[in-house]
Structure 1
Amino acid sequence: MKNDLLFDFTVDKAAKTVFITREFAADQALVWDVFTKAELLDQWVAPKPFVSKTKYMNFEVGGKRFYAMISPEGQARWAIQQYTSITPKTNFKMYNVFADENENPEQYGSDWDYNFSEENGITKVSITVYNESFERMESILEGFKLGFTASLQNLEILLAALSVK
């Protein structure tokens, strides 16, 4: 693992937006796959000791991923991701909202915009997360930053293992 790779997490509270940029020492096609295939997402997206379980995922415009983050005690926190735009290997956008186990969404969610680029074997992922509700963003921000940072560390380990294969 390279320790000099870029990681930036910036919050613009007035705009209700989080900006995340992270570099990985991996091929862009592989990085794209770990963000867009359920069997790979479930291996890294949950911060330990939580695990991710995808009930179903249809990665196409208008498609959804319905999944849960499951605690060591077995408590599930469900979410729906609805894909709104996909440009293969370079960009996808989705709407993310917490839900119950029957796919009934909470009132507010967030719009995610993922951009992928590669230069000299380093893939940069730039993510913009716009929250519909300032209060929702405020209530989850600290935990989100810690959890997402841990998830990206999981991803770096997974990419290193997959790159060796």
Structure 2
Amino acid sequence: MKNNLQFDFLVDKKENTLTIRREFLADRQLIWDCYTKSELLDKWFAPAPLTTKTKSMDFREGGHWHYAMVEPNGTEYWGYTTYLKIKPIDYYTSLDAFSNAEGEINKDLPSAEWLVTFIDKGENALVETIVTYKSLTDLEQVVQMGMEQGMLATLEKLDQLLLTINK
């Protein structure tokens, strides 16, 4: 089944930003929950065939999400998100970085500030994510690492999860 859902992936090298817009066949509250509850994030937040596991999550301003994307062979890629500002079902801002299993930030890999906005689009929800990097070098590095393909594959996993939730 192929839907004509909006997907935009825009690179702005002047502002060092990625803008990702993605439409989902669900209402805004459900999409908000999928982005902000670890038991739902663990079901979709990694491109296939990777899976996600949460080590700890405290979704509040000043809180965090410490998680790993796990390959089928068991290799783990850790991330650490710090939540800055939250306006429930409208938006949140966060700092996102690569880390180790102990939650120590990897300073050798790019970190970024994320603004994730949830918008009604008829019966669907649109999520707009603006990711701001500290430098053009950092932006180019994540693009080279396959950020667009990874986001596309990850958001398709959310589509699949929504099919099971919306039944």
TM-score range, shorter chain: over 0.9
Find the counterpart in structure 2 of residue 136 from structure 1: 138
Q: Which moved more, 1:135-144 or 1:125-134?
A: 135-144
* TM-score between the two structures when normalised by the length of structure 1: 0.94
Find the counterpart in structure 1 of residue 102 from structure 2: 102
Q: Per-residue CA shift, 1:79-124, capped at 9, x if unaligned?
A: 1100000000110110001011221112241000011111321111
**Corresponding residue pairs, total:** 164
Give ranges in structure 2 of 5+ residues lacking alignment.
none
RMSD, aligned α-carbons: 1.3
Cα distance in 2 for partners of 1:119, 1:134 equals 32
Partner-residue secondary structure (3-state), 1:44: coil
Residue 18 (structure 1) shift: 0.1
Give ranges in structure 1 of 5+ residues lacking alignment.
none
* TM-score between the two structures when normalised by the length of structure 2: 0.93
Residue 136 (structure 1) shift: 2.4
Q: Per-residue CA shift, 1:16-61, capped at 9, x if unaligned?
A: 1000111111111101000000010111111111111110100000
Q: Which moved more, 1:135-144 or 1:41-50?
A: 135-144
Residue 151 (structure 1) shift: 0.4
Find the counterpart in structure 1 of residue 164 from structure 2: 161
> Which 4+ runs in 1 deviate beyond 6 A?
none
CA contact (8 A) 1:64 1:83 kept: yes
Written as runs of structure 1 = structure 2, the 5 A alignment for 1:10-89 is: 10-89=10-89
Is 1:118 aligned with 2:128? no
CA contact (8 A) 1:115 1:126 kept: yes
Structure 1 counterpart of 2:163, one-letter code: A
Partner-residue secondary structure (3-state), 2:132: strand
Partner-residue secondary structure (3-state), 1:145: helix
Find the counterpart in structure 2 of residue 5 from structure 1: 5
